[in-house]
Structure formats: structure tokens, C-alpha cells
Amino acid sequence: MQPQTRQTFTRSAIAVAVLVVAGGAYLHSKNSDIGIENANAAITAQNAAPAPVSNAAPAVAVATDFSGIVERSGPAVVNISVTGKAKQSAVSDQDDGSGELDPNDPFSQFFKRFGPQLQIPSHPQIMRGEGSGFIISADGLILTNAHVVDGAQEVTVKLTDRREFKAKVLGSDKQSDIAVIRIDAKNLPTVQIGNPALTKVGEPVLAIGSPYGFENTATAGIVSAKSRSLPDDTYVPFIQTDVAVNPGNSGGPLFNIKGEVIGINSQIYSQTGGYQGLSFAIPIDVATKVEQQLVKHGKVTRSHLGVSVQEVNQALAESFGLKSAAGALVSSVDKGSPADKGGLQTGDVILRFNGQPINHSSDLPSLVADIAPGTNSTIEVMRDGQAKTLTVKLTEAEVLKTAGKDNGAGSQGRLGLALRQLTPDEQQQVGIRGGLVVEDATGPSALAGIQRGDVILSLNGKPVNSVEQLRQLVSKAGKNVALLVQRDKEKIFVPLTLG
């Protein structure tokens, strides 16, 4: 019987835990050069007409020449090195293979039962990571991935002229995986920003980054698909390419044939952890919207509709009387949400949002997120074979902010959590009622070992069913609290010292 392989979407930053290791090395194969042939230059022998005898040189396939783009824009691509404390997770996907657990992780006790191969280190792990980025303004503003600088205590940027600078993280947004950092420098080379909407499937593209620490490595390919929806990446319509992207390429630019940046390389789909022909980039227009909010406000604000949707296939289209398999089928509506108040119902098929067609269910979240909270929006739906137009007033996505001073934000900052309510489907899947899903953990919560995806069930023994309820409990709490947390099927009380 062949062993099963696990297919995963992998962030492409390098991260290495600094521990006492007996030995180890990277093994990698040298990739052959990939040329994109001119379709008009290659003719099969079977279809080629007999040619007269000639002394002229035979026709050859011509590869796309990216050398001008590399020469012009390569100096604006930077190498990013980070140092920080290891993430507190039971088993890291970027560890040294020892399978050791962080003793500070409150869930480590649940993994001790699996045998002696999971050992507890005697000291905290220190993470060193590498990624890429690119300069978007001559005064030192740089775009990269949020997961490249996540948890970093020190960020170092190295330019192609070998100058090095300590960088300040201005802000990061995990939901879009975008971060903005700044270095103290002037008159820097910058990239030219393009329009991903004009990009066509099949176009040649170029990536520049630092795979495995090899700085300013250029790899080329084509656009394989657009508007790809990936697990846990609700707000990003990814650009899929076959450009070779490996650990360390994260945060690097994806160029079109004009030398314009159309995306930020972020993830790969792999069974091995290395490149296998499926790479995904965040469209640059998505990134620049996030960058503008991070620079101006230090955070990203998104709107909330309050529905769960699923893809419409041919069978569902016929069942709901649609002419084609398009739209977003509403599978549930959150009670009291903008969707509920606006009259959306389970079984509605959303066809347009503010006049924009919804071809796939993944189109809806990004359109909603781009609208300012408090804005009235129109939604065209198909209900019982009849077209209807509804108006909803969007609200801000309900999360506990990790920064701020007024309106209770001080108590929110004490906890250091970004949270949302579970959908009815999630509650049924997890087997609980109520609870809040952790979208992000910083400060005291991160130090206590709470992670994204954990479910907060109670604080000091009092069940929590809404963000507002938890906010009130935190505001009245003392310095130390106990959170009841569920991870997978395990529950544990986690002691927390509030900031």
C-alpha cells in the first residue's frame, strides 16, 4: 500500500527554528531554464510545407526575453530577514524535523500522549526567516506578505547594492496577507504598478525574489488562471501561475511582460513543500487598497454582510431556475446581520452586488469588503424563480481591535484578540453553541498560546456568545483571567495576564 500524501497550500517564506540540531541540509534540484515559445515560430514537421533549399539559418523557437525587466526593476526587489520568537503551535510546519513542542503552548499536554517523539524543549525557540519584498516609494515604503513579518521582533532589509537597513512594520493584514514596512532611506529605485484586471490567462509573467535565500532570483512562466479562491483566504481573488515560487519568494513581485507589478507572490500548492507548478499571487490592486489603509490608519476596515454562500453548479442552477451556473447561493443568514435586516433569505441566489456580476461565490466577499461600513448597497437575487432587488446597510466586521484608546478599545487591547462569531454551520460542525472564533492573536493572548482558529467559549467561567459580551467582561475583569478555549475537539482553560 502506498503511503498517503498530504496536499497543502504553503506560505513560501523561509523560517528556521534555532535549536541544537545534530545535523541537516537542504537538498534541491537545479531547475532547467523555462522558455515560453512564440506560437508562430514552431511548426510541426507533419504540417510543414516542403521548403525550397536555402542557405538561410533554420527557424528556431524564440523565448520571451525578460532581461530588460530584471535590469530595470530588479534593484527595487529586496531581501527581507526576520528574527522573532517561534509561533506557539503544537507541531510547526517549518520546524527542524524534531517534532518538539513549545512548553508555553497550553495544548502541549494533549500531544504528550502520542509518544516520546514529541519532546519538550528546555528553552523557547527563536525563529529566523527570510522572504522578499519590493519598494513602492522612493522614501523607503516596501510591500511584502504579512506572514513574512508575522511575529518578527527585528526586520532587516537588504538591497541589491548590499546596503542593509532595519525596517519598521507599519502594519499588516492577515486576511489579505499584506504587510507594509518602511526603511530610512531616500532616492530608492521603485517598481511600476500595473492593472491585474487587464491581465489575460496565458500571458507571460516574471517573478523576482529570494528562494531559499538566493537573492534576486528571476523565474518565469505564464498566468494559469485568475480569481482563484483558496481555503482560508476569503478576501483574495488569487492570480494562479506556473512560475517557480519556493520558500523565500513570499512577498516578491509578479511582473507582466510590460515590467509592471500585477501581483505579490504568496502561496504554492504542493505535496512536498516545494514548487510543483502551482503558484498563487495576490493581485496588486487588492494589495494597494490594503496598503493605503495600513499607512493611513494602521489597520484595515472591512464591511460585513452576514451570510454564508456556496458555489452554484449546473444541478443547483437548474433547481433554482437559473439560466446558467453563476451567482452565490445563500446557505445561511446570520440573525441580526445586515443581510437579515435587508431581507436576504436562505436559498436566495445573489446575482449582482452594487451592479457587479457575481460569477462565482468567491466574488462576493471581496466586493463586500471593499465597501465602507455604513454604506447602503443593492443586491440582486433570484428567489423562487423571480428576480428581486434588495437594499442592505453594511456594517463593520465585528472584531475586537488590538489597537485604540477610546470607546472600550483599551480593554480590547488588554486581550489582544480579533474575533468573530461562529456561523450556524460552524457551530454544528464544531458541536457547540455560541463561542467566538479567533481570527488573530497578539499580545497577551499570543504569549499564552492562543492561535488563529481557536474558539473562545468562556471568560472566568462565563459563556461568551458575542464580541460585545466579551468586551464587557474584559472591561470588568482584573489583571488575570481564564479563557476556556476549544481547539479541534480538545478544551482547556488558558490563564491570561491582561495588558
Of residues 92, 250, 266, 362, which has the active-site annotation? Answer: 250
Backbone angles phi, psi at 139, to 5 degrees: -95, 15
b/e per residue 91-129 (b: at least 16 CB within 10 A): ebebbbebebbbeebbbbebbeeeeeebeeeeeebebbb
Nearest to 358 by CA among 339, 380, 389: 380
Nearest to 194 by CA among 147, 241, 264: 264
Of residues 102, 105, 173, 177, which has the active-site annotation? Answer: 177
Of residues 89, 147, 363, 377, which has the active-site annotation? Answer: 147
Nearest to 380 by CA among 344, 346, 404: 344
Q: CA 358: distance to chain centroid?
A: 22
According to DSSP, the β-strands at 152-158 and 141-144 are: unpaired
Q: Which helix (H) or strand (E) holds 34?
A: none
Question: What Rg value do the Cα atoms of the chain yield, rounded?
Answer: 25
DSSP string across 429-483: HHT-SS-EEEEEE-HHHHHHT--TT-EEEEETTEE--SHHHHHHHHHH--SEEEE
Residues pairing with 306 in the sheet: none
250 is catalytic: yes
Report the Cα–Cα distance between both ends of the chain, in Å, rounded.
Answer: 53
Backbone angles phi, psi at 282, to 5 degrees: -80, 125
177 is catalytic: yes
Nearest to 466 by CA among 421, 427, 422: 421
Residues pairing with 493 in the sheet: 484
Nearest to 70 by CA among 209, 213, 185: 209
Q: Which residues are catalytic?
A: 147, 177, 250
